[in-house]
C-alpha cells in the first residue's frame, strides 16, 4: 500500500517553528493498528488521518506515537492546510467529524480558524508530588476535560520549568498545561504529556480550549493573544465564545512524500 504524507508546522509562519504534524489523506479508512504504526514511525507528537465523507466534509482521527487521542488542534490545522493548499479544495468553511464532535475550519488569507468545543476548567486539589515534578510552585490547579492545568506566577516561571517526566507521567494521566500571564501576550503556556508518549508538545491547540476560558475570565476579555513558549514557540489568537473556542493560526509546509507499507 502507498499513501501520500505531508509534514506541516502549525501555529507559525516560520520554518522550524510551531508544532510539526504529519498528515495522511486517505480514500477510505485503513485498520487502526496500521495507523498507530505509521504514527509511531513518524515519531511526531501527532499524525492526522482523514477520509472524505461528504461535500466539504471529512472524518478525522489523530494518533500520537503511542495512542489515539480524541482532539488535536495543531494536526487539525495542518490537515486543513493540506486540504486547502495541496488538495485544492476551494469551498470553505469545511467540517471535520471527530471523536470530539464536528469541528469547523475556515480560511482567512493565510490564517486558518479552528472552531473547537470549550473545556471549562474546574478547580481541583493539587496532587501530591506535582510541584516536585515540575520544580515550581503552583498557584492554582484545574481540570478541563482530559487535561489538567497548573497556573504559575509569571512567564519566567513557565519558561524555567524542567519537569521530571517519569514522575509527571504518574501524576498527569493525560496531559498537563502549565500557564501564566504573558509579558508581551495575554498568556503563555507549555504542555507536557509523558503518559501518552509526548514529553513536551511544542504547540497544543486543544490545550487552549481549557486555558482560553480561564484567562478570559481572569482578564475580563474574550479575545486573547497567546504564546506557547516551547523551544519551537507557537503563536495563537484565541476567542472565547462560550461553549466554543476559536483558535487562529498559520501553517508552513516542510515536506511531502509517499508512505510505502
132-164 confidence digits (pLDDT tens):
999 999 999 999 999 999 999 999 999 999 999
Q: How many residues does the chain have?
A: 261
Among 12, 30, 22, which Cα is nearest to 248's? Answer: 12
Percent of the chain having pLDDT more than 90? 99
* CA separation for the pair 199, 78 (Å, rounded): 21
Mean pLDDT confidence for 229-246:
96
The residues annotated with a catalytic role in the active site are: 46
Domains 2-116+247-260 and 122-242 share a fold: yes
Binned at pLDDT 50, 70 and 90, residue 173 comes out as confident
Mean pLDDT confidence for 255-259:
97
pLDDT tens-digit profile of 68-80?
A: 999 999 999 999 9
Q: Would you say domain 2-116+247-260 falls under CATH 3.40.1160.10? A: no
Query: Does pLDDT of 188 surpass 90?
Result: yes
* CA separation for the pair 171, 260 (Å, rounded): 38
* CA separation for the pair 221, 250 (Å, rounded): 23
Give the CATH number of domain 122-242; options: 3.40.50.300, 3.30.590.10, 3.10.310.10, 3.30.420.40. 3.10.310.10
Q: What is the mean pLDDT of the chain?
A: 97
Mean pLDDT confidence for 59-71:
96
- Rounded to two decimals, the pTM is 0.93
Residue extents of the structural domains in the chain = 2-116+247-260, 122-242
Amino acid at each position: 500500500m502507498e499513501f501520500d504524507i505531508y509534514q506541516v508546522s502549525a501555529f507559525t509562519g516560520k520554518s522550524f517553528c510551531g508544532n510539526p504534524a504529519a498528515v495522511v489523506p486517505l480514500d477510505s479508512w485503513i485498520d487502526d493498528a496500521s495507523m498507530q504504526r505509521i504514527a509511531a514511525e513518524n515519531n511526531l507528537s501527532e499524525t492526522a488521518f482523514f477520509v472524505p465523507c461528504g461535500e466539504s466534509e471529512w472524518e478525522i482521527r489523530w494518533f500520537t506515537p503511542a495512542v489515539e487521542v480524541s482532539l488535536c488542534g495543531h494536526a487539525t490545522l495542518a490537515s486543513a492546510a493540506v486540504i486547502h493548499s495541496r488538495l485544492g479544495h476551494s469551498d470553505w468553511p469545511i467540517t471535520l467529524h471527530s471523536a470530539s464532535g464536528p469541528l469547523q475550519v475556515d480560511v482567512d488569507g493565510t490564517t486558518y480558524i479552528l472552531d473547537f468545543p470549550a473545556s471549562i476548567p474546574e478547580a481541583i486539589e493539587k496532587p501530591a508530588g506535582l510541584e516536585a515534578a515540575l520544580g515550581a510552585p503552583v498557584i492554582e490547579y484545574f481540570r478541563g476535560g482530559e487535561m489538567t492545568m497548573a497556573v504559575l506566577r509569571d512567564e519566567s516561571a513557565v519558561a524555567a520549568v524542567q519537569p521530571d517526566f517519569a514522575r509527571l507521567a504518574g501524576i498527569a494521566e493525560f496531559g498537563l498545561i502549565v500557564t501564566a500571564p504573558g509579558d508581551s501576550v495575554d498568556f503563555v503556556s507549555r504542555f507536557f504529556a509523558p503518559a501518552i508518549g509526548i514529553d513536551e508538545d511544542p504547540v497544543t491547540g486543544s490545550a487552549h480550549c481549557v486555558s482560553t476560558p480561564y484567562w478570559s475570565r481572569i482578564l475580563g476579555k474574550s479575545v486573547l493573544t497567546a504564546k506557547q513558549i516551547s523551544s519551537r514557540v507557537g503563536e495563537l489568537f484565541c476567542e472565547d465564545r462560550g461553549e466554543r473556542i476559536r483558535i487562529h493560526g498559520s501553517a508552513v509546509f516542510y515536506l511531502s512524500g509517499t508512505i510505502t507499507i
